Amino acid sequence: MLKAFKYRIYLTDEQKVLLAKTFGCCRWFYNFALNLTNETYKATGKGLSRNEIINKLPELKKELEWLTEVPSQAL
């Protein structure tokens, strides 16, 4: 027999804001990486590896300060 547990969490207002920022930044970075990969593929015929995309992140954090507001593990 399998058991399942459901838990309900009640977030504070600060936690709700941080969670919304985190999801928004993750969504933005995913779309940025997808667009960058597509453009690179169209131009060169090769896509980008995961490491090449991740290496762009420090540059982006310097340009876009709002990316530094979320935990780096999420990005």
In tens, the pLDDT along 17-70 reads 999 999 999 999 999 999 999 999 999 999 999 999 999 999 999 999 999 999
> Are 29 and 68 contacting, i.e. CB atoms less than 8 angstroms apart?
no
Helix (H) or strand (E) holding 35: helix 13-44
41 domain residue, yes or no: yes
Q: Domain total for the chain?
A: 1
Q: Decide if 3 is inside a domain.
A: no
What domain range is 38 assigned to? 27-75
Per the CB < 8 A criterion, the answer to whether 60 and 67 are in contact is yes
Q: Which residues of 6-28 are buried (b: 16+ CB within 10 A; e: fewer)?
A: eeeeeeeeeeeeeeebbeebeee
Q: Is residue 16 part of a domain?
A: no
Return left, alpha or beta for 4; rule: phi > 0 is left, psi -120 to 50 is alpha, else beta: beta
